[in-house]
């Protein structure tokens, strides 16, 4: 084919240029570059100009794992859409040695190296051509560069691991999302600039190189060097490019459609890769059927990176993972660990379609990637591993979204983001969890079949391209004949509307108007339900936990908010789920005079809270007490969640919420039981950090007394279903934290046996963290655990040990842990943010953790980058249980002192809102809690 011959010719000419001493058609390097004195940087915006479009990158990289540096060259074919003398692209931290531009005939436009100007604030480089680049023409931009392998978690960075003999080994890996490809090679580092990539990597014989595509050939260069040439990639965004140079080993399998799947890990952890391989093969098979689109690459590699800030990354054909997100060791990994690994793989492989095949046009719509991938975790795991009961966790995802969205510091799902810091902050609860929950709501609203066919249409139409919010709604609202659908056409006509499966109340749905209310405005709606004879009256408003309707600010904070809410409800009259689209602030529905109770938002399929005015909450409390199984476990969980959220907002009294969960002694399902218990634990953990010893003691006594039976039913084993194991793990952890004598006795006995075995005894994985936490409370136990942490080869096991070490009541030991974390040797830097939060959770360490963050703020920002998940977690996590006015003032004061640095961060306002929420909770509820507990103690 002509196209293939052209690509091959340019491929060869590039390598001739690299290896030959001179070429008369290009600069020899003897003439100095053109001067830059009279030139100024030609571009002032953060976003690149759109008139130079990359088509194909030929990228050569030579990393040196001894000097921890790399050199490279990139040959970019570009299409010019406006006459210009300038090429502006991204470059960060790279030393560009030469830049030249060639025309379509491979003739250089200048006999000298071209001037390169930099705008470091915008991470951009501009290359000046003395000859005009003409509109409609193609050119070839050739750049040589070098840099150090980054010390951190972004760009082309170094990582290391230790063998069992203590030998340290180095590898180099990439993490480019969202804006760090520019740290590895000069490029047009924006998601809409999709291009093909031909990647070549030079390496030593003892290493292997991996990239997005398979290796086509390997060339021996002499002196122990090999050069791997990878196949040309499909069109993709820069942030999905990946390469790893390491000495890992792999295990491989093949999908039913012939895709080779390989899982890579350090040689001594190879045996922990088998579960991941099984999951990846199953997931790819599932997604190919669900999306009705074949996985477009010949292989899919999954690789563990020892130093990795996030959980995983979806690079096309080469997904990268933190060890705890990919490796599963049956001796040290719990049921929850297995579920986590399975869900993370499901997430990253969903991205191969949502995100990679179809990419958001700009980062303001990152939820199109992350919300879909988060939701597909649940769909894929439920289909492939039904025994893991993943659906039990979807409510938690939506509850987390509500927690963020009910603060005024929340943001719309689709939000402006321009700078790298703002873009990093888009990877948050709103994009992931709220995105997943509104998709769940939409799927239930449209029906499974319509939802699935709509997203298949979306993926087909925008394959290898970019999309926006509107494109998704158009695809879901589209109606095609089977002939149009299979031929790849996309159709819509109003006369076909009657065929739509999502006809609602006899009217054709304006899906865009509906979904814009969920993606273009922030917040979560509260629907207040009032019974009036045979009808229920409905009223919607924005739900806020920090502002009460009596507050003067209330009208301003409510102004302009209106959602199109797909309401569902059921009654005691039948099992029918009734549906209604609420598009106005108030509404009413007929339910019948004979109905005793109405439950709105069935199974919490909708992303909204419900408040039952009048006798509504009493009706629900009576129902749960008399016949709780009349409602599904999801409905019972939803009631508990909504009641306690309304307590925080000052809309329901605390004793009324306690009455609601009074039935929990009869509850046999894990999810509602843990939901109710979780609120009691949250109250206790806040109280133990304040000086209220009587209330704290009474709450502890009440929890242990009330849940005595279910605590005593737990075995210290790994037996039972996933749900039973989850309950055991969380319940025994809480019981020991509350100093339950029987729990402490059992844990101490198990820890003593572990000590006598010199750490070789394998404790049940579901309770090992609880056993270690009890054992860590004396000097000998703490030291033994620190030694076990040092020698363990399971990161999952180490995370449990670290949690136990951070539970110590000895402030000196907590301080030592934080110092070890900052040093980054024994405790890796990737685990520092988690460690800080562990110490902050400890009542003996929560102020220490906050002071540590203040004293080491600049160091932490340097390690993790402003706007990163780690920095946001540290900011929100260390302040999350502050609940006094004095603590609020202190947090405000520190944020004020770093105002210039964090001016782009939403996380600081989220943290302040959280503390304000806690202060209000104590003001509103402490007195009620005291009285209620005294009554329970009688």
Q: Annotated active-site positions, please?
A: 348
Determine the length of the chain: 938
Per the structure block, which two tokens stand in for 250? 């792999």
For residue 200 the two structure tokens come to: 């070549």
- Bridge partners of 99, per DSSP, are 143
Residues 548 and 539: their CA atoms lie apart, in Å, by 16
| C-alpha to C-alpha distance for 425 and 907, rounded to whole angstroms | 8
CA atoms within 13 A on the CB side of 646: 25
What is the DSSP code (8-state) at residue 108? Answer: B
Work out whether strand 225-230 and strand 358-360 pair parallel, antiparallel, or are unpaired: unpaired
* Nearest residue to 171 via CA among 268, 264, 247, 262: 247
Tell me the C-alpha distance between 756 and 824, whole Å: 30
CA distances to 233, 257, 298, 641, 699 from 288, rounded to whole Å, are: 20, 9, 13, 36, 51
Alpha-carbon gap, residue 375 to 346, rounded angstroms: 10
Q: How many Cβ atoms from other residues are within 10 Å of residue 666's Cβ?
A: 10
**DSSP letter (8 states) at residue 299:** E
Task: Give strand pairing partners of 60.
Answer: 73, 200
What whole-number distance in Å separates Cα of residue 324 and Cα of residue 794?
A: 8
Angle, nearest 10°, between helix axes 869-879 and 857-864?
A: 140
Q: Which two tokens stand for residue 880?
A: 């999350």
> Is residue 720 left, alpha or beta, with left meaning phi > 0 and alpha meaning psi from -120 to 50?
left
| Closest C-alpha among 535, 544, 534, 527 to residue 582 | 527
For the chain, the helix, strand and coil percentages under 3-state DSSP, each to the nearest 5 = 45, 20, 35
- The alpha carbon torsion through 163, 167, 171, 177 (nearest 10 deg) reads 60
55 SS3 class = strand
Contact 240, 181 (CB under 8 A): no
Q: Which of these, 291, 283, 290, 280, lies nearest to 318 by C-alpha position?
A: 280
Q: Order of strands, edge to edge, in the sheet holding 124-133? A: 84-90, 124-133, 116-119
Instruction: Please state whether the peptide bond connecting residue 178 to the residue before it is cis, i.e. omega within 30 degrees of 0.
Output: yes
What is residue 483's three-state secondary structure?
Answer: helix
**Of 495, 578, 565, 500, which is closest to residue 528 (Cα–Cα)?**
565
Q: How many helices (H) and strands (E) does the chain have?
A: 32, 28
Locate 847 and state its tokens: 């102020």
Q: Are 248 and 169 in contact (CB under 8 A)?
A: no
Distance CA 927, CA 390 (A): 39
CB-CB contact of 305 with 325 (8 Å): no
Closest-CA residue to 271 (of 388, 420, 164): 164
Count Cα neighbours of 80 within 13 Å in the Cβ-side half-sphere: 22
Return d(Cα 585, Cα 578) in angstroms, integer.
20
Residues 540, 580: Cα–Cα separation, whole Å? 14
Helices 768-775 and 741-756, axial angle in degrees (round to 10):
90
Backbone angles phi, psi at 936, to 5 degrees: -70, -25
């Amino acid at each position: 084919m002509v196209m293939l011959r052209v690509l091959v010719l340019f491929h060869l000419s590039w390598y001739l240029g690299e290896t030959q001493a001179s070429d008369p058609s290009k600069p020899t390097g003897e003439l100095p570059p053109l001067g830059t004195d009279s030139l100024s940087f030609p571009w002032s915006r953060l976003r690149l100009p759109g008139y130079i479009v990359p088509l194909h990158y030929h990228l050569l990289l030579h990393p040196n794992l001894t000097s921890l540096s790399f050199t490279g060259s990139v040959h970019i074919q570009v299409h010019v859409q406006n006459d210009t003398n300038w090429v502006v692209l991204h470059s960060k931290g790279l030393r560009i040695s030469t830049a030249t531009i060639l025309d379509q005939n491979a003739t250089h436009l200048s006999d000298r190296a071209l001037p390169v100007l930099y705008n470091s604030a915008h991470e951009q480089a501009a290359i000046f051509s003395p000859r005009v680049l003409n509109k409609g023409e193609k050119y070839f931009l050739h750049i040589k560069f070098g840099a150090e392998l980054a010390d951190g978690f972004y760009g082309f960075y170094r990582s290391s691991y230790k063998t069992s003999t203590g030998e340290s080994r180095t590898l180099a890996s990439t993490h480019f999302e969202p804006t760090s490809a520019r740290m590895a090679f000069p490029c047009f580092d924006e998601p809409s600039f999709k291009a093909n990539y031909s990647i070549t990597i030079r390496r030593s014989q003892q290493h292997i190189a991996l990239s997005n595509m398979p290796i086509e050939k390997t060339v021996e260069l002499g002196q122990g060097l090999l050069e791997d040439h990878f196949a040309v990639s499909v069109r993709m965004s820069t942030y999905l490019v990946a390469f790893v140079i390491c000495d890992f080993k792999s295990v491989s399998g093949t999908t039913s459609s012939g895709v080779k799947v390989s899982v890579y890990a350090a040689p001594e952890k190879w045996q922990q890769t088998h579960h991941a391989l099984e999951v990846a093969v199953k997931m790819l098979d599932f997604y190919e059927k669900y999306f009705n689109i074949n996985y477009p690459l010949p292989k899919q590699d999954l690789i563990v990176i020892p130093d990795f800030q996030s959980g995983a990354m979806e690079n096309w054909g080469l997904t990268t993972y933190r060890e705890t997100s990919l490796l599963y060791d049956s001796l040290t990994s719990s049921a929850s660990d297995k579920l986590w690994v399975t869900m993370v793989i499901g997430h990253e492989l969903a991205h191969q379609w949502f995100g990679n095949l179809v990419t958001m046009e700009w980062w303001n719509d990152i939820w199109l990637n992350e919300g879909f991938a988060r939701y597909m975790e649940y769909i894929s795991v439920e289909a492939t591993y039904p025994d893991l009961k993943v659906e039990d966790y979807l409510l938690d995802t939506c509850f987390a979204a509500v927690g963020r969205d009910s603060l005024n510091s929340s943001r719309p799902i689709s939000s402006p983001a321009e700078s790298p810091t703002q873009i990093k902050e888009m990877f948050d609860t709103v994009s992931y969890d709220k995105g997943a929950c509104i998709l769940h709501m939409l799927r239930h609203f449209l029906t499974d079949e319509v939802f699935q066919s709509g997203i298949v249409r979306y993926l087909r139409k925008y394959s290898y391209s970019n999309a926006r919010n509107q494109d998704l709604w158009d695809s879901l609202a589209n109606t095609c004949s089977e002939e149009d659908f299979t031929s790849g056409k996309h159709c819509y006509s109003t006369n076909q509307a009657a065929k739509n499966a999502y006809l609602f109340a006899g009217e054709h749905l304006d899906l865009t108007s509906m979904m814009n209310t969920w993606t273009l405005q922030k917040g979560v709606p509260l629907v207040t339900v009032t019974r009036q004879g045979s009808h229920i009256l409905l009223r919607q408003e924005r739900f806020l936990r920090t502002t009460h309707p009596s507050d003067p600010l209330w009208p301003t904070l409510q102004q302009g908010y209106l959602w199109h809410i797909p309401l569902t409800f059921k009654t005691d009259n039948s099992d029918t789920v009734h549906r209604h689209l609420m598009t106005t602030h108030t509404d009413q529905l007929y339910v019948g005079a004979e109905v005793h109770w109405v439950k709105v938002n069935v199974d919490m399929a909708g992303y909204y809270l419900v408040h039952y005015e009048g006798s509504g909450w009493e009706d629900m409390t009576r129902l749960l007490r008399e016949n709780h199984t009349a409602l599904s476990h999801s409905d019972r969980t939803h009631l508990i969640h909504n009641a306690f959220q309304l307590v925080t907002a000052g809309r329901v009294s605390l004793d009324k919420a306690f009455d609601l969960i009074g039935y929990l002694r009869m509850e046999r399902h894990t999810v509602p039981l843990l939901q109710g218990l979780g609120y009691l634990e949250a109250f206790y953990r806040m109280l133990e950090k304040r000086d209220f010893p009587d209330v704290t003691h009474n709450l502890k006594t009440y929890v242990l007394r009330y849940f005595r039976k279910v605590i005593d039913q737990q075995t210290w084993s790994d037996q039972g279903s996933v749900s039973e194991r989850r309950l055991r793990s969380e319940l025994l952890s809480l019981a020991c934290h509350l100093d339950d004598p029987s729990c402490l006795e059992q844990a101490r006995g198990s820890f003593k046996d572990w000590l006598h075995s010199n750490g070789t005894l394998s404790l049940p994985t579901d309770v090992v963290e609880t056993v270690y936490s009890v054992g860590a409370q004396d000097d000998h136990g703490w030291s033994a655990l620190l030694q076990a942490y040092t020698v363990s080869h399971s990161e999952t096991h180490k995370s449990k040990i670290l949690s136990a070490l951070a539970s110590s009541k000895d402030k000196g030991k907590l301080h030592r842990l934080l110092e070890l974390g900052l040093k980054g040797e024994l405790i890796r830097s990737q685990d520092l943010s988690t460690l800080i939060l562990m110490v902050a959770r400890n009542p003996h360490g929560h102020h220490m953790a906050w002071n540590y963050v203040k004293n080491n703020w600049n160091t932490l920002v340097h390690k993790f980058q402003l706007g990163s998940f780690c920095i946001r977690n540290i900011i929100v996590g260390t302040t999350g249980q502050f609940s006094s006015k004095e603590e609020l003032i202190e947090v405000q004061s520190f944020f004020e002192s770093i105002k210039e640095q964090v001016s782009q961060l939403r996380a600081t306002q989220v943290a302040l809102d959280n503390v304000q929420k806690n202060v209000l909770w104590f003001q509103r509820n402490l007195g009620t809690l005291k009285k209620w507990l005294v009554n329970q103690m009688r």
